[in-house]
Amino acid sequence: MSEKKVFVVGDIHGCLEMLKRLIDKIEWDPANDRLIFIGDYIDRGENSKGVIDYILKLKENTSLIQCLIGNHEQMFLDYLSGVDPQSSLANGGLSTLRSYEKVRQSQDDPLIPPSHLDFFSSLLSMIELKNHYIVHAGFRPNIRIEDQSLNDMIWIREEFIYSDYDFGKVVIFGHTPFNSPLIMKNKIGIDTGAVFGNYLTCLELPEKKFHSVRPK
């Protein structure tokens, strides 16, 4: 892909209104700029379904949008498949189910639209840019990128965050909320706790400029 800029959006967690304001704010050009979502679109917030609808609408007009899988999407997939019926519900999944039930036209209709199931199933585990890796939670130190497990990429916290291990490129990640972006030599954390009343953050590359919005 050849693009002028890359915008990386942090954990949304159903905060549709904030997401819309952030996309309006960043002056993203769909014809030239890559837009990457770092995962955790759903759970805890009020409008998880609306967030997916909005992203799918954005994707209709450009091929420069890429979406990563977060631990909340994996838990939701595990809930829907029956692999793990409890973890999603214990981690904010009820709000996601309610957002789908609210707009369900009939009990005969599937709760989760096929286009949304396709979206969840198509999410990427990581993205490599020229100078950065982008992943939901992080990487396990001392393991080659190609050997990282999906479980670590969507769940790891302390072992990654407190490590000064050089992964070869700066790692941009979400998953662990901070009051403001975490900026270290080997990593940049952009989950700034939107669903907890703090900011929804976007990192613009190559300028390394941060854009953010707060709840109204």
pLDDT in tens, 11-58: 999 999 999 999 999 989 999 999 999 999 999 999 999 999 999 999
Q: Does the predicted TM-score (pTM) go above 0.75?
A: yes
Architecture per CATH, 6-213 = 4-Layer Sandwich (3.60)
3-state secondary structure the chain: CCCCCEEEECCCCCCHHHHHHHHHHHCCCCCCCEEEECCCCCCCCCCHHHHHHHHHHHHCCCCCEEEECCHHHHHHHHHHHCCCCCHHHHCCHHHHHHHHHHCCCCCCCCCCCHHHHHHHHCCECEEECCCEEEECCCCCCCCCHHHCCHHHHHHCCHHHHCCCCCCCCEEEECCCCCCCCEECCCEEECCCCHHHCCCEEEEEECCCEEEEECCC
**Average pLDDT, stretch 132-144?**
98
Give the per-residue pLDDT at 1.
42
Confidence (pLDDT) at 3: 55
Q: What residues does each domain of the chain span?
A: 6-213
- Residues 155-164 have a mean pLDDT of 98
- The reported pLDDT for the residue numbered 105 is 81
**102 token code pair:** 């609210």
